[in-house]
Amino acid sequence: MSARRVDLLGSGLLLFLLWLIAYPLVLVLVEGFRGADGWTFDFVRQFLGRRNEAQALWGSLWISLATVVLAGAIGVPLAFLFSRYDFPGRRIVGGLVALPAVLPPLVGVLAFLFLYGESGFVSLLIQRIFRLDAPPWRLQGAGAILLVHAYSMYVYFYLFTRAGLAGLDASVFEAAASLGAGRWRTLRRVVLPLLLPALAGGALLTFMTALGSFSAPYIFGGGFRVMTTQIVATRLNGDDQLAMIETVSLTVIALVALWLLRGAATFESSAGGRKGVAPALMPVKRPIVRGIVGMLGWGLALLLLLPHLTLLLVSFVPAGTWTTEPLPPAYTWRNYLTLVEDPVRARPLLNSLWLATAATIAAVSIAVAAGVLSVRRRAKFGRTIEALLALPWAVPGTVFAIALATAFSVHAPLAGRFILVGTLWLLPVAYLVRNLPITSRAVLAGFRALDPSLDEAAATLGAGRWRTLRRVTLPLLRPAIVAGASLAFVTAFGDFVTSIMLYTYDTRPISLEILSSLRQSDVGVAAAYGVVLMAISAAVFALGADRGGTG
């Protein structure tokens, strides 16, 4: 492939990505400033004038910051515990600790509702034990949101810190010790500075996820406002342009956060490729301490598994039979059978499967094309292409939903706009855009890790471009592709944020069916959907981890 053709194809890909990713965002920006007769700041004034807009913006910001603090406070010590100390059950519990990751956001919220909601499992138990007249708490407002956030997002800190600790060279600890540094000084002066990129990476990911979080505020928010739910509410009211301004404000916060923590983006390169021996585990020797640590570990595991178990339990409960008893009086397969037998209820499952599959295949194809052009062939616009692919990560899902709904609600082929709203295709396109950062991150990293002389070796052995791609590049990229694809699939499969804004009756995904089952008090079926979602997500994750590791 000549350099000119590479640049030509690169430009083509760039244009496509500009159209798919940047153009809708620009349109949102433009629409927010355009009234019936020309440019206007009316909507900005409206936005600034309303008290609840400021409340929502402030709510989003402080909830996200508080989530970072809470998640860090839980995740970092846990990571230290599991990577530095050896005690009974370390391996199993250490694995279970990552479990909240396989719980799609809406399913997690659902499980928390069953556990700690007004008639939740734990709430009832406490009410009974202490003989209270009313439930001990109400699962609503900022506290409830933070609880769910802390539970589902400490995993980021946990995984990042563990990866960072695993990347440390044992000789660093030994060097510090031989220089007379005690445990605390080593931690403060050596370990924490080395972990800083990992911690910043965890913080950034947590902040972005919390900022874009929709399920928890939507279900538990009550009167508490955050921007993501505010946008949806405003749009339901028909104030489209105000929604645009809200969208822009949320995007600005996200971009500022990204800019402040931009160093964290280099995390992978600083922690990934380091050589050396991983630090040895410190055995916990005193039997009493061992016992305590072990019990705490298992207690923690139970606490973390409780949502999953509750979901499983509720999914076997016949409709309307479980009211005040601590354990359900009857069990049934009915809820699951409903999913299979009733074509109307089976449809969301099939929808989610094909939507997520299509979005994943498209994301992988684009990522591979970007890898070939940008990493391998050093096409002219490689850096811009990579930046565009990463962009949707910095933009909350609600924002993209609005942007795509705006861009593709008009038929103007010359302006690159088509009517996709109300068709089958808007949702997969939205999933695709949201998946591109995850997928391309994994695939591009895979491309970078490939020894370029393998390609050259294939060339000297007479293999053309396609044969090299098919026989050498793609097989070697398989772990990266499988990892990226499985993450993308799971995200799309459990998506709620974008779906609630863009679905049609024919594309309604599982998450929306869970919501409507819940609204109809069909708790068992909602839980059964949740279990299916969780099981398929976990299976795909496991596949990704397995193939990703050995291939």
Partner 1 sequence: MTFLRLESLTKRFGDTTAVDRLSLSLQRGEMLALLGPSGSGKTTTLRLLAGFESPDAGRVLVEDEDVTMVEPVARRFGMVFQHYALFPHLDVGENVAFGLESLRIRGPELHHRVARALALVDLAGFERRRIGQLSGGQQQRIALARALAPEPRVLLLDEPLSNLDPSLRERTRGEIRELIQRVGITTVLVTHEQDEAFDLGDRVAVLRGGFLEQVGSPEDLYASPANPFVAEFVGRSSRIEVTVLGPGERGVRVSVEGVEWELTDGAAPQGMFPAEGPALMVVRPEALRLTAPAPGAVAGTVAERQFTGAASLFTVATEAGARLEVTAPPRSVRPGDRVGIMPSRRSGGGIHLFPPSVA
CB 472 → partner 1: shortest distance, Å?
6
Q: In this structure, which amino acid lies at residue 1?
A: M
Which region, judged by CB under 8 A, interacts with partner 1, from 139-147, 172-180, 272-280, 463-471? Answer: 463-471
For partner 1, the binding residue among 9, 166, 319, 472 (CB under 8 A) is 472
For partner 1, the binding residue among 464, 504, 521, 545 (CB under 8 A) is 464
Which positions ≥6 away from 215 have C-beta within 8 Å? 105, 106, 108, 109, 148, 496, 497
- 462 binding partner 1? (CB under 8 A): yes
* Cα–Cα dist 354/493, whole Å: 9
Q: In this structure, which amino acid lies at residue 535?
A: A
* Cα–Cα dist 368/409, whole Å: 30
CB 464 → partner 1: shortest distance, Å?
6
For partner 1, the binding residue among 45, 189, 262, 471 (CB under 8 A) is 471
Q: Which one, 329 or 464, has the nearer CB to partner 1?
A: 464
Contact 510, 533 (CB under 8 A): yes
For partner 1, the binding residue among 9, 66, 346, 476 (CB under 8 A) is 476
CB 476 → partner 1: shortest distance, Å?
6
Residue that the structure tokens 């861009």 belong to: 407
**Radius of gyration for the alpha carbons in the chain, expressed in angstroms and rounded:** 25
Query: Which H or E run includes 240?
Result: helix 240-260
CB 477 → partner 1: shortest distance, Å?
10
CB 467 → partner 1: shortest distance, Å?
7
Which region, judged by CB under 8 A, interacts with partner 1, from 5-13, 213-221, 286-294, 457-465? Answer: 457-465
Q: Which one, 185 or 470, has the nearer CB to partner 1?
A: 470
Q: Which one, 91 or 471, has the nearer CB to partner 1?
A: 471
* Cα–Cα dist 100/13, whole Å: 36
- 5 binding partner 1? (CB under 8 A): no
Which region, judged by CB under 8 A, interacts with partner 1, from 209-217, 319-327, 448-456, 509-517? Answer: 448-456
Which region, judged by CB under 8 A, interacts with partner 1, from 311-319, 401-409, 455-463, 535-543? Answer: 455-463
For partner 1, the binding residue among 289, 454, 542, 545 (CB under 8 A) is 454
Residue that the structure tokens 């972990």 belong to: 195
For partner 1, the binding residue among 28, 78, 106, 458 (CB under 8 A) is 458
For partner 1, the binding residue among 456, 470, 504, 516 (CB under 8 A) is 456
Chain center to CA of 429: 18
* Cα–Cα dist 551/548, whole Å: 6
- 475 binding partner 1? (CB under 8 A): yes
Contact 195, 161 (CB under 8 A): yes
- 35 binding partner 1? (CB under 8 A): no
Query: Which H or E run includes 39?
Result: strand 38-39
Contact 410, 510 (CB under 8 A): no
* Cα–Cα dist 427/521, whole Å: 27
- 549 binding partner 1? (CB under 8 A): no
CB 541 → partner 1: shortest distance, Å?
23
* Residue 207 phi, psi (nearest 5): -60, -45
Helix 510-519, helix 343-370: angle, nearest 10: 150
Which residues contact partner 1 by CB under 8 A?
451, 453-454, 456-464, 467, 471-472, 475-476, 551
